[in-house]
Structure formats: C-alpha cells, structure tokens
Amino acid sequence: MPQEIKHHLTDALLMGYSAGTLPEAFNLVVASHVSLCDECRARLAEFDAVGGEIVAMSETAEMSADSLALTLAAISDAPAEEEQAAAPEITGTAVLPRPIREYVGGDVEAVKWRKIGGGVRQAILRTSKNATARLLYIPAGCAVPDHGHAGTELTLVLQGAFRDETDRFGAGDVEVANEDLDHQPVAEDGEDCICLAATDAPLKFNAMIPKLAQPFLRI
C-alpha cells in the first residue's frame, strides 16, 4: 500500500461516481483509488450521504398498477451479462487493488500484456464503450510517447512512479489530464511502473510513429 498519496480525485469525479454518471472505465479508476486512499474514501462517503438526503426529500413518483410486473418481465427478457472472473484472495501484498483484480481475474501475474513499443506493454480491460481502461507497464527509466488529450485521461499509479511536466506521481496517486495538458510521462529509475489509465477520447500523439500505430493499439 502507498505510504503517502499526494494527488487525489476531484470533487467532480467523486460526485459522478456517487451519482452513477461516470463511464465504467472511470468508475474503475475511482473505485481503485478510493480503495487505497483514506482521504478520498471519506470524501466519497460525504457525497453518498448528501445524495441519500436528496433522494429522501424527493417527492414520490406515481406508478401504474402493472409497473412491478413490467419491470420483472424486462429483467427476465434481458440478455445475460458475461460474468467477470472472480478475483482470488491474495495472501501476500497485491499490486492490483481488488476492483482491478475483479477484471483481471488475479494480480499482476494474471495480466495478459501486449507489447506496444519501447518496452512498454498494455492490457486493455473490458468495459463499456464510452471510455477505455487499460493497464500500462512502463519499464524503469522508459517514457511513453509525448501526447495531448482530446478528452479526459485518468492515470492511477499502482507500482513505481512516473514524472511528467506537471509533477511526480507515486503509488496511489492519480493524475487527471484534460485538453490543456501535453505531457510525456517517464517512469522513475529503480522500479518498473504499473498504471491504470482510463480515457474517454483518443490521445493526441505528437510524433508520427505513434500516430500511425494508434488505430492498432486502441489508444
């Protein structure tokens, strides 16, 4: 577990998670960070409490007599969702928080990495289509291509650390990047960096080779 988390989630992200309005990929980042961060977990509890009060004060909506029957019928007719592999219990210290292990089916050794160049590897996690979640493995001292953003990118550090033009991000830290940020994250020497990244729009690479490879890498 990280000893000190310096970069936290925004209020907007915590409120969106509490209200259920975030894409699944962003929910995964928030849930994983909250599982590591006492401060953000406490703030999320406050937003949950406010949301509960709002629901309690809301007027009761009238329902038709057959509402329950129609709802049960809709549930029974819905296609069955593919179940996520259950995350096995970890007896030692896990690198991946439990929310991510639920998607992977285990800890780091269960991740199906794919090389994307320069020693960097990724594993795309299956989430809803309105945003993408991926695990990134960046060898110590290596960098990912410099890029901008057409939307929002959330990056949660799970192991090691990286630096970019804004600051240093260690285990448990989350970087929230948007259209205003162009950066090139570089993994610190001494330990390979593993991150969970979620994006709701393609990255804007500055170099030609990453641009050409982008459709195949789904970044």
Query: What is the full DSSP assignment across 84-114?
Result: PPPPPP-SS--SS-HHHHHHHTSSGGG---E
Q: Which domain holds residue 100?
A: 1-58+93-219
Q: What is the CATH number of the domain that holds 166?
A: 2.60.120.10
DSSP bridge pairs for 153: 177, 199
Element (H, E) at 176: strand 174-177
Element (H, E) at 133: strand 132-138
Within-domain flag for 68: no
Supply the DSSP symbol for 143.
B
Within-domain flag for 74: no
Evaluate if pTM is beyond 0.75: yes
Within-domain flag for 151: yes
Within-domain flag for 82: no
Q: Give the model's pLDDT for residue 21.
A: 96
52-97 pLDDT tens trace: 555 555 566 676 777 677 777 766 665 554 444 454 454 458 999 9
Within-domain flag for 86: no
Q: Is the dihedral of CA 38, 41, 45, 46 positive or negative?
A: positive
Total domain count, the chain: 1
